[in-house]
A and B are shown apart, each in its own frame.
Chain A
Amino acid sequence: MTASGEPSPAAPAADDAALVARLAARDAVALREVIARYAGPLNRVAFRMTGDAHEAEDIVQEACLRLWDHAPRLAARHPAGTPAGGALRLSGWLARVVTNLAIDRLRQARRVSGEEVPERADEAPLADAMIEADQRDGTARALVLALPERQRAAIVLTYYEELPNAEAAAAMDMNIKAFESLLHRARAGLRQAFAAQGDAR
């Protein structure tokens, strides 16, 4: 279970290779299965990274389409019924894609706007819900979104998605030592920000 009480994305991976093989064969039903299984967790990561529901939806869609595109290659490298196929973890592959896409978009938004975090809640289609929730989750959002993007990803993957450090490091294309150092800085930053909010209140 994740921090929000939602099902963990760590779905059984034994049939990931078979699923990818079906995607490689251009099986639309397989893609629908992938979405049903992984889109929720991916959306959580994307939203907590960007703070924008619309952006998160785009990111998840792009990740699913990239899987669709890469399925033939993945299927060739991880044939179903082989040890290589058994080693395939679509959740990890998709988490890496989503994390990278989110970081890319945050950097792009920062370059365009010059701001650290794009705050566009009012433009989102779920603006009303967001406004209602603002009172409740405003503190959390502010805490998480105030982190630099890579530190934010480290917190999202390890705290919210409860990924082991090794998997989170893999999702961020980092070695474990570097990731742990990043996570240490993220936690410290989060605690300092939280303490500062408390002082302000």
Chain B
Amino acid sequence: MSVNENDQDAPIARGSQLARALDDFAVPELPAGFADKVLVAAQARPAPLPELRRSGGGGARGWRLGRRIAIGAVGFGALATAAAATGLLERVGVPVPTPEKVWASITGKERVPPVVAAPAPAIKPPADPAPAALAPVRIEGAIDTPEELAEAFRRIDEVRQGRMEARRQLLDERIEREKERRRAAGLPVPTPEEEARLRQRIEEERTRREGLASQRIEARREELRERIESGEALTGEDIIRPLREDVRALERRERFERLRQMTPEQRREALRRLPPEQRRELMEAWRQRQQQRLRDGVPAAVDGPVPEAPPQDMPEVVSPSGIAPDESPR
């Protein structure tokens, strides 16, 4: 064995024992008729398939482009159809308390809720004489009897019912306006079946929300009844204070909602533009919500220290009396 063969990585040297052994590997010749056999086989070979024109060819490129356009058009149509329902849903304001606030939160227009400066519902005489005529109980001064409290609740319920009816009308008008807008813009308009499903969803959501609101109202009313029964006299402030708290909660919630709909960059910019005290208040509210969520075992928001959307099952913001904060009792 040559020295070279001790080097495992070196080429096999000619003349070495290993090379001589390898060179003994003789190869038989191809048969004499090999070329003829191949030629016959070549002639019998089916014609090759045309080459795929993967590059440079206008046809293939054109087809791919056309296919992409077709896919895009179909996708756009599907999205537009979905938007016809979901966009409409957003516009009619299913998840927020009032249609006006839905509109404000979606369009991003700053709409400051009216400050509740109206007198307390319990001490203001009803604007509508008819309910007053049906309700002989008069409320004078502080509310200190169950009858006066019940009368206040009754008037408030009337306001609430009227308000819910007004909401339904607004909803109908808004759906019609949105359909008109879509027709004018050449956008897909929901079919009657789609509209029926949409309205059903809205109605189910409204029923659910009103049910939650009613539970909350009833709980607060029960507290007020107990206070009356314990001999306490309720002033307008007793009713207005939670109302104001609700106003602030609503403002925060609307701001949360607007922030949630922004991109992270827009969100950071919006937070930066807020006055420092409002920013602090917002962040503090967010922290409290996060802590509450952690206590409740609800997963935290995924995008960091940005106010997340309020839970969808948040009950309608109402005062203990049952009136939304942006409305004054008549």
Q: Which residues of A contact B (CB under 8 A)?
A: 3-4, 28, 31-32, 35-36, 39-40, 43-44, 47-48, 53, 56-57, 60-61, 64-65, 68-70, 72-73, 76, 126, 129-130, 133, 136-137, 139-141, 143-144, 155, 158-160, 184, 187-188, 190-191, 194-195, 198
Contact = CB atoms under 8 A, between A and B. Distances in A.
Contact of B24 (A126, A136, A159): A136
B24 to A, nearest CB: 4
B1 A184 contact: no
Contacts of A188: 8-9
27 contacts: A3-B22, A28-B39, A32-B39, A35-B35, A47-B27, A48-B27, A57-B30, A61-B34, A61-B38, A64-B38, A70-B48, A130-B28, A136-B24, A137-B24, A140-B24, A140-B25, A143-B22, A144-B25, A159-B11, A187-B9, A188-B8, A188-B9, A190-B22, A194-B5, A194-B17, A194-B18, A198-B1
Given A136-B26, A184-B9, 14 more contacts: A3-B23, A4-B26, A40-B29, A48-B25, A48-B27, A57-B30, A73-B51, A76-B51, A159-B11, A159-B19, A187-B10, A190-B22, A191-B18, A194-B17
A102 B71 CA distance: 44
Q: How large is the interface on B (under 10, 10 to 19, 20 to 34, 35 or more residues)?
A: 20 to 34
B21 A191 contact: no
Contact of B8 (A57, A70, A191): A191
A120 to B, nearest CB: 14
A106 B10 CA distance: 27
Dominant secondary structure at the A interface: helix
A187 B30 contact: no
A61 B8 contact: no
Interface of B: 1, 5, 8-12, 14, 17-19, 21-31, 34-35, 37-39, 41-43, 45, 48, 51
Given A65-B42, A69-B45, A70-B48, A137 B35 contact: no
Contact of B21 (A57, A65, A139): A139
B30 A60 contact: yes
Contacts of A184: 8-9
Contacts of A53: 28
Question: Most B CB atoms within 10 A — which of A61, A160, A191?
Answer: A191
Given A187-B8, A188-B8, A191-B5, A129 B28 contact: yes
A73 B37 CA distance: 24
A48 B23 CA distance: 11
A4 B22 CA distance: 10
Contacts of A143: 21-22
A137 B25 contact: yes
Contacts of B26: 4, 133, 136-137
Nearest to B23: A3
Contacts of B38: 31, 35, 61, 64-65
Contacts of A137: 24-26
Contacts of A70: 48
Contacts of A190: 12, 18, 22
B33 to A, nearest CB: 11
A32 B35 contact: yes
Contact of B12 (A48, A72, A129, A159): A159
Contacts of B9: 184, 187-188
A65 B45 contact: yes
A65 B41 contact: yes
A3 B18 CA distance: 12
A4 B23 contact: yes
A96 B8 CA distance: 27
A102 to B, nearest CB: 13
Given A140-B21, A190-B18, A28 B43 contact: yes
Contacts of B51: 72-73, 76
Contacts of B37: 61
Contacts of A73: 51
